[in-house]
Amino acid sequence: MVNMTSVETEKDTFKKQSQFKEIWRRFKKNKGAVIGLIILAAILLVLIFAGAVVSYDMVAEQNLSGKLASPSGEHLFGTDAYGRDVFARVIYGGRTSLGIAVLATISSCIVGSALGAIAGYFGGKVDSIISRSLDIFMSIPDILFTMAVVFALGANFKNLLIALTLAYFTNYVKLVRSQVLNLADLEYVEAAKAGGASSARIIMSHIIPNAMGVIIVNTTLNVSKIILYESTLSFLGLGMPPPAPEWGLMLAEAREFMRTAPHLLIFPAGAIVLTACSINLMGDGLRDALDPHLKS
């Protein structure tokens, strides 16, 4: 019997390569998306090599006599209520925010996609149980649930990650489930089953690659949503505890001093908006590149 899988993977790889090129070409045409990509890349570079730009000590170094100073040559973004350098805090805060966002996105993606694939593929009772539970789960507004989790477990990096994953995994379950329901009917899945492939194999090698496009777009856009959400939580005191350099936290601290020290509001807010905008531009561009029909 011919080994169908190996023949198929060769053709698949070839198809994928030219598909990638085509997607990349469409992506490049979208000026906004390219700008987003460039800005994001720049942000990532700065964050990864933060040490080269400004040392970590500056984050915590207090200087009460020089507090609430406006931007100057020495302190590019000014200083905060404790005399700490805002520039350093914004940059290292970026690491925290982006780091949590990326990790939370990946974990919610994995958990949600797995559940969605199982629900869609096995159907019947399994699907019913998962879907019903999900409906009940989604009846609780995200923010309240997150608050409950953070309250119960305490506010730290790990728990924040858990709370965010729980808030966002539902996104993926519905998405992947509907993709699977669409694809599971297709003939090549039947053929694979007839050839003796196991359920797990079918899900992994046939269904998930096809659902990839939608998953990737959603994931990209989710990162930006999670950044916004996470900074909101910190603002409310439910995220990273002080004295962590975190954008939401910095804005909460800035509230008191806004009138006289607007730079405390402008720079962290600007950082959040810039990051979210560039991710959204890229995400939109990806979406259009993967499905050109949506554009015109």
Taking the least distance from each CB to other proteins, the nearer of 37 and 254 is 254
As measured in angstroms, the least distance from the Cβ of 119 to other proteins is 17
Half-sphere exposure of 108 (CA within 13 A, CB side): 30
Decide if 153 contacts 159 (C-beta within 8 A): yes
Distances (CA, A) of 213 to 16, 59, 80, 230: 12, 39, 43, 26
Taking the least distance from each CB to other proteins, the nearer of 79 and 231 is 231
As measured in angstroms, the least distance from the Cβ of 144 to other proteins is 5
Q: How far apart are CA 278 and CA 233, in angstroms?
A: 22
Taking the least distance from each CB to other proteins, the nearer of 219 and 280 is 280
**Footprint of other proteins (CB under 8 A):** 133, 135-137, 139-145, 147-153, 224, 228-229, 231-232, 235-238, 248, 251, 254-255, 258-259, 262, 265, 269, 272-273, 276-277, 280, 293-294, 296
Decide if 95 contacts 50 (C-beta within 8 A): yes
Q: How far apart are CA 211 and CA 217, in angstroms?
A: 11
Tokens of 202: 């079918």
Distances (CA, A) of 33 to 26, 30, 39, 51, 126: 10, 5, 10, 29, 40
As measured in angstroms, the least distance from the Cβ of 274 to other proteins is 8
Tokens of 226: 């999670």
Q: How far apart are CA 38 and CA 48, in angstroms?
A: 15
Prior bond of 292 cis (ω within 30°): no
Q: How far apart are CA 283 and CA 16, in angstroms?
A: 20
As measured in angstroms, the least distance from the Cβ of 17 to other proteins is 20
As measured in angstroms, the least distance from the Cβ of 227 to other proteins is 9
As measured in angstroms, the least distance from the Cβ of 25 to other proteins is 10
Taking the least distance from each CB to other proteins, the nearer of 11 and 293 is 293
As measured in angstroms, the least distance from the Cβ of 229 to other proteins is 8
Sign, CA torsion 159/102/237/249: positive
Taking the least distance from each CB to other proteins, the nearer of 65 and 139 is 139
Taking the least distance from each CB to other proteins, the nearer of 103 and 277 is 277
As measured in angstroms, the least distance from the Cβ of 232 to other proteins is 5
Taking the least distance from each CB to other proteins, the nearer of 174 and 193 is 174
What is the b/e burial string over 55-64, where b = at least 16 CB atoms within 10 angstroms of the residue's CB? Answer: eeebbeeeee
Taking the least distance from each CB to other proteins, the nearer of 177 and 206 is 177
